[in-house]
Amino acid sequence: MGQPYEYRRRELVEPDWARFPGWRDITREQWESAQWQRVHCIKNARQLRAVLGDLIADSFYDDLLADQAASATMSMLVTPQMLNTMSVESTEAFYADPVRRYMIPVGSDRRADWPSHPHATRDSLHEHDMWVAEGLTHRYPTKVLAELLSTCPQYCGHCTRMDLVGNSTPAVDKLKLTLKPTDRYDAHVAYLRAHPGVRDVVVSGGDVANVPWRHLESYLMRLLDIETIRDIRLATKALMGLPQHWLQPDVVEGLERVARTAARRGVNLAIHTHVNHANSLTPLVARAAQTALEVGVRDVRNQGVLMRGVNATGADLLDLCFALQGEAGILPYYFYMCDMIPNAEHWRVPVWQAQELQHDIMGYLPGYATPRIVCDVPLVGKRWVHMVTEYDREHGISYWTKNYRTSIEQEDDEALARRYPYYDPIDTLPESGQKWWRKQEQSA
Ligand code: SF4
């Protein structure tokens, strides 16, 4: 008998961009230029068609436009690097492509019956509610999330920060950061100086790759001046989506200065990236990760998002983890279940399935590189998927507890005694459960 998963080493390859009619004459030098990649990002159906030529049927673009007009919570922004990892052999292959399914969502991907869960919300994790300064979310006792800006070099259809990140779409009018960046950064530093119990800062956005390097370096150096800060994690999907950014000489040199200062002060400096499928890992991504490690970043870790149609099988997750760990020097760290944001039901998986997937990936990778699958429970924070306290499978409601107060519950006596609900996608429930939710909707 064979194993449920057979490991075979697969070396990374950079797919040939010349297979795209619009990029036939693009040189390696152009391809490896961050500037060229940024200027040639795909922002709309017309630009996509110009690159794909007649590789994909016209009906795809109608499907895309329909989605953008009615359902998309993120505007379109796809780097050439990412488009090049999608399959364009046929319209069917493009439709089925796992990276296409979350970077270029179309109307027919979404569920017509339950496009959104009734409990889905724009800021499902209440990050904005927990701002202690503009862009600074204090959710866990010892850690903060610092959103330096609200843009990324690429926009993911499932973005959990769809409330704030990116341009407004017909479906979502985005929140705006209003302070000048320097005032925002000053407010963060002032809060961290005044709260020595906070030791860990996730520097994010958006994506830090969109912060001009000298501003980012100055922000990081100011954090490194605060003696109580012991961990700094830079959040950048661009390490995969635009590795060219992290290979630019001025960025590499700047990162080395920051890493040296962090090492001298005993602070753990890491990069957290966001890769959802093995196809996204190419030699250029591996080179960017390796370069960060060479200049002294202590670790490069991956936080993927678990999504139906993208990576929600044991084999997909293991393929990705082995490519990260064995070929790219990136530690498989977490898979987050896709959050309860609007129009995301076709991506979300139920808790029981996430538990099964955690079970299926155990024992293949080194223990330290076996990722945890986590559920980010609203008002709780991330929990390993087996930490559920009670689970009503019929109605798809799981209940979770927590052991700390968020910044909005300091005076709440019940916060640690309460059970907090999380909801499975309704289409995954037994018929009796689906009927119950239909009834709830009718009587609402
Ligand atoms: S890179 Fe991160 S913050 Fe930016 S759109 Fe994607 S998920 Fe959202």
Q: pLDDT digits over 78-90, tens only? A: 999 999 999 999 9
Domain ranges in the chain with CATH number 3.20.20.70: 128-382
For ligand 1, mutation pick of 274, 334, 335, 347 (most atoms within 8 Å of CB):
274
Residue 56 CB neighbour total at 10 angstroms: 19
Residue 317 predicted with pLDDT over 90 = yes
What pLDDT score was predicted for residue 94? 98
pLDDT interval class at 252 (50, 70, 90):
very high
What pLDDT score was predicted for residue 406? 87
d(CA 389, CA 380): 13
Question: Token pair for residue 404?
Answer: 């700390």
Which atom of ligand 1 lies closest to the CA of 158? 7
pLDDT interval class at 124 (50, 70, 90):
confident
Residue 429 predicted with pLDDT over 90 = yes
Higher pLDDT, 398 or 409: 398
pLDDT interval class at 411 (50, 70, 90):
confident
Percent of the chain beyond pLDDT 70?
100
Residue 242 Cα, ligand 1 centroid: separation in angstroms? 13
Residue 109 predicted with pLDDT over 90 = yes
Residue 160 predicted with pLDDT over 90 = yes
SS3 call for 383: strand
Residue 156 Cα, ligand 1 centroid: separation in angstroms? 6
Please answer whether residues 306 and 158 qualify as being in contact, where contact means their C-beta atoms are separated by less than 8 angstroms.
no
Residue 207 Cα, ligand 1 centroid: separation in angstroms? 7
183-187, 207-211, 370-374, 407-411: the lowest-pLDDT one? 407-411
32-50 average pLDDT score:
98
What beta strand segments (E) does 172-283 contain?
200-204, 231-235, 268-273
What beta strand segments (E) does 162-255 contain?
200-204, 231-235
Please answer whether residues 269 and 262 qualify as being in contact, where contact means their C-beta atoms are separated by less than 8 angstroms.
yes
d(CA 145, CA 162): 16
137-153 average pLDDT score:
97
Percent of the chain beyond pLDDT 90?
95
CATH topology of domain 128-382: TIM Barrel (3.20.20)
Q: What residue owns the CA closest to ligand 1's atom 3?
A: 206
Residue 441 Cα, ligand 1 centroid: separation in angstroms? 31
For ligand 1, mutation pick of 149, 169, 207, 233 (most atoms within 8 Å of CB):
207
User: Which residue bears the tokens 């795809």?
Assistant: 60
State pTM to two decimals.
0.97
pLDDT interval class at 71 (50, 70, 90):
very high
Residue 237 Cα, ligand 1 centroid: separation in angstroms? 7
307-318 average pLDDT score:
98
Residue 426 predicted with pLDDT over 90 = yes
User: Which residue bears the tokens 């920060």?
Assistant: 161
Residue 410 predicted with pLDDT over 90 = no
Which atom of ligand 1 lies closest to the CA of 237? 1
Residue 444 predicted with pLDDT over 90 = no
> Among candidates 5, 318, 43, which has minimal Cα distance to 155?
43
Which atom of ligand 1 lies closest to the CA of 74? 5
Question: Token pair for residue 192?
Answer: 């961290």
Exposed / middle / buried, residue 387 (Cβ in 10 Å: 0-12, 13-18, 19+)? middle
Q: What residue owns the CA closest to ligand 1's atom 6?
A: 156
Residues with CB under 6 A from ligand 1: 152, 155-156, 159, 161, 165, 206-207, 237, 274
327-351 average pLDDT score:
97
Which atom of ligand 1 lies closest to the CA of 236? 1
Q: What residue owns the CA closest to ligand 1's atom 1?
A: 237
Q: What residue owns the CA closest to ligand 1's atom 5?
A: 155
Q: What residue owns the CA closest to ligand 1's atom 8?
A: 159
Please answer whether residues 329 and 367 qualify as being in contact, where contact means their C-beta atoms are separated by less than 8 angstroms.
no
Please provide the average confidence, as pLDDT, over all residues in the chain. Answer: 97
What pLDDT score was predicted for residue 113? 94
Which atom of ligand 1 lies closest to the CA of 151? 4
What pLDDT score was predicted for residue 244? 98
